[in-house]
Amino acid sequence: MKKNLLVFTLLLLLSAPLLAQTVKGTITDAAGAPLQGATIQYGQQQGTTSDRDGSFSLPCSGAMTLTVSFVGYTTVTAQVSDCNALLNITLAAANPILNAVEITATSEANRTVLAQPVALVKLSPMEIKRSTGLFMDDAINANVPGVFMQRRSIGGGQSFNIRGYGGGGPGPRGINSNFDGQGVKVYLNGIPITDAEGITVLDDIDFGSIGNVEITKGPSGTLYGLAIAGVVNMQTIRPEKDKVSIGQDVLVGSYGLNRMTTHLQISNEKSSILVNYGKQNYSGFMDHTSSTKDFVNMMGDFKLSQKQTLTSYIGWSNSYDQRNGELTIDQYNNLDYSGNPAYIQNDAHSNLISFRAGLGHTYQFSDKLSNTTTIFGTGQSNNASSAGGWTDKTPVNYGFRTTFDARFNLADGVTLSGVTGMEAQKQYAQIIAYPMVTNNANPGGYNIIGAIRSNQSTITGTYSLFSQWTLTLPKDFSITAGLGTSSMNISLIDKFYVAANNTASNTVPTTYNSNYNGLASPSIAVNKVINGKVSVYASYRQGYKAPVASSIYTPLAGKVNTGLKPEKGTQFEIGTKGALLDDKLVYEVALFSAKFDNKMTLVGVPNAAGTATLYSYVVNSGSYDNKGLEAMVKYTLLSSETGFIKTLRPFANVTYSDFKYNSFTFQNNVLVPPADYSGNKVAGVAPITANGGVDVTTRNGLYGNVTYMFRETMPFTPDGLNSAPSYGLLNAKIGFRKTIATHWDADFYLGANNITSVQYAQMVFVNQLPDAFLPGPKDINYFGGVNLKYTF
């Protein structure tokens, strides 16, 4: 008996390691990207979920069957015969467009478009590169319903208008500058491009290096702080996995466009590095509109261990864009593109030298909890001149964003996942303004800088705390709710104290502090995914925009502007997304009602003669009531693995905007009584925009696309008496890609924009008459290039 017991004990000890074995593996999509949150089940509903790297581990006692599922992906089974073998399981998307997963530093990690109850649009390299790939407005305006992007010059002054809120207005003399954007939060590789004041300058961004764009439409204060209009998250091109290559891109085009870009990509199992260096030049299609840009950017991703990853970005840019000023209505109608003489006389321009850097670290504590923290900094030197004079600005921004991603399995088919975190940013800026005066040494030349007109220093801090959670229930039903709270603190120092205030009884301080605290932004949404193919959702979201430093103090008047309220945006939205007809037809439809309260506008103060505006100040004027419908569809008409045509995919999108002023009074200047524009159409928004086109690829490497963009007649004064005419732009591109002798990849292409040579405005100035239009090229213009890459 004792002998049998001894043998049994010995066998039990020898078998213990086998009983304690685990099987490990990774879950990825078809492109090799890890899928976090995939469910791996075995036995009687036992299982686990994949972590941020797509990794998982399970107890293994021999042969077993695993069932792997993820929302929007086809469920697969995997057989385990060897517990020591590493499993690599690939999930195919139920639809590769709707169910693409992007792992970004700002969006909810690893949730498919189908599973998110929000109007979220993702642009891939195909959409971004349909034209030259150098100007992001080409891609945004053709592919994203409800969003319009403008630019002040060839390579600068970009701004987004999302659902009626954005740069340059809209509205009477919109408080947003014509040279930058406000109300929209913009990120690049997790680094805020938007500064601590909420101002976004994109002049230094090389859009040719962008490989992915994600746009959230509507107030987004829960996760992104002071983002009243929406969020634009951009990611640079990523190196190809496990490859080392060097490449050279050359592009030339009409009006002296030329660009040279050199790439270096190094990627292996544990790290990847991409370096871009380029030079871009443009002579301009109008007098005094030339542009140059030199840039270097470097991206790196490093896998430190199974639990830790590191990502980095460094970018330097020097851009210079001339401005010839906006055209009057008569100039535009008469095809007189000579510009504004006051701009040209002042050698109007924007010169921005910029350095940006960011470092992000992700730590996977367990399959249930991870943290991602990014620290960043930006330094800029910006000098610009216009008809009004010259401004030097040297802002320095730094900050961090940290998020904790959690996921808990509460019961069979019930999970709770969420993101909780904080974002903080500080800015120190020096702004000096000058008038422009005649150069007496050369009276016929450009004007030169005169005596200092104002000198200010500002210290601005923004802080946001946020938490958002999603309860996923059986049958793919989910409820999402969150709350974010934001604050902005501005300290402004007037270093050029006007003589009128330098008295014994003066009540205007040289330093002024303004605080906007406790700006709470709740959100709640429900989403239902049907058969992994279609989703329907309803959501409510809120966001704010606080006044900037220039709004709270008027240096020329020596007056503090007290009593300004932050703008508040609220939005209710219902929508549906899906893939039908065997996944050939992909669609997204959204119906929304957004309201923007306490809208800020400018009131002008004329000089004594009444011939010009001496200065302006900011007031809250009322609200916008914006209702709209957005729809987009993509259809795979042909997909063949053997025929000459590989893919043929038409696409279309349309936006209907019914935007009205609500309880809105506006005073153009102090000498005229306020006017009530309530019920009028919001200026600066076309009621209908529509875009369509087709992409085609062939088996032998030929590819091409044709796009058509339509924009309806648009009022640009609140009384509705002045409108920008409707127009349609027809663009096309054809190219040829080929791999040569294994190591060489070549891409040749030719394209044409505005094929029908129509007149159109690239930017429209809202209620700023006589200033009205910045035109685009009125004649057909061409471009072409070659991209060469050698892979070692």
Question: What's residue 72's pLDDT?
Answer: 54
The type of residue at 196 is: A
The DSSP element (H or E) to which 11 belongs, if any, is helix 2-19
Q: Which fold has domain 2-91?
A: Immunoglobulin-like (2.60.40)
Q: Under 8 Å CB-to-CB from 131, ≥6 apart: which residues?
A: 138, 139, 731, 733, 751, 753, 783
Residue 546 φ/ψ, nearest 5 degrees: -85, 155
Question: What's residue 18's pLDDT?
Answer: 43
Q: Which residues on adjacent β-strands are paired with residue 409? A: 415
Give me the residues of the chain with pLDDT under 50, please.
5, 7-19, 101-107, 168-176
SS3 19: helix
Token duo for residue 774: 């910045």
* Each residue's pLDDT tens digit, 393-452: 999 999 999 999 998 989 888 999 999 999 999 999 999 999 999 999 999 899 999 999
Q: Which residues on adjacent β-strands are paired with residue 605? A: 615
* DSSP string of 300-343, one letter each residue: EEEE-SSSEEEEEEEEEEEEEEE---PBPHHHHHTT-----HHH
Taking alpha carbons only, the member of 301, 304, 305, 341 closest to residue 323 is 341
Question: What's residue 173's pLDDT?
Answer: 41
In angstroms, the CA 705 to CA 695 distance is 4
In angstroms, the CA 261 to CA 745 distance is 16
SS3 683: coil
Burial class for 66, CB neighbours closer than 10 Å (0-12, 13-18, 19+): buried
The DSSP element (H or E) to which 659 belongs, if any, is strand 645-662
The DSSP element (H or E) to which 585 belongs, if any, is strand 585-606
* DSSP string of 509-525, one letter each residue: -SEEEEEEEEEEEEEEE
Token duo for residue 239: 């190196």
Question: What's residue 692's pLDDT?
Answer: 97
* DSSP string of 23-78, one letter each residue: EEEEEEETTS-B-TT-EEEETTTEEEE--TTSEEEEE--SSEEEEEE-TTB--EEE
In angstroms, the CA 294 to CA 262 distance is 12
The DSSP element (H or E) to which 221 belongs, if any, is helix 221-224
Question: What's residue 239's pLDDT?
Answer: 86
Q: How many residues does the chain have?
A: 792
The vertex-151 CA angle with 150 and 156, nearest 5°, equals: 150
Question: What's residue 505's pLDDT?
Answer: 78
Kindly provide the b/e burial profile for residues 300-329, where b requires at least 16 CB atoms within 10 angstroms of the residue's own CB.
bbebeeebebebbbebbbebbbbbbbbbbe
Token duo for residue 137: 């407005």
Percent of the chain residues past pLDDT 70, beyond the cut: 89
Question: What's residue 93's pLDDT?
Answer: 61
Q: Under 8 Å CB-to-CB from 683, ≥6 apart: which residues?
A: 169, 170, 171, 172, 715, 716, 717, 718, 720, 766, 767
The separation between CA 112 and the C-alpha centre of its own chain, rounded to angstroms, equals: 18
Kindly provide the b/e burial profile for residues 473-486, where b requires at least 16 CB atoms within 10 angstroms of the residue's own CB.
eeebebebbbbbbb
Task: Give residue limits of the domains in the chain.
Answer: 2-91, 113-791
CATH superfamily to which 113-791 belongs:
TonB-dependent receptor, beta-barrel domain (2.40.170.20)
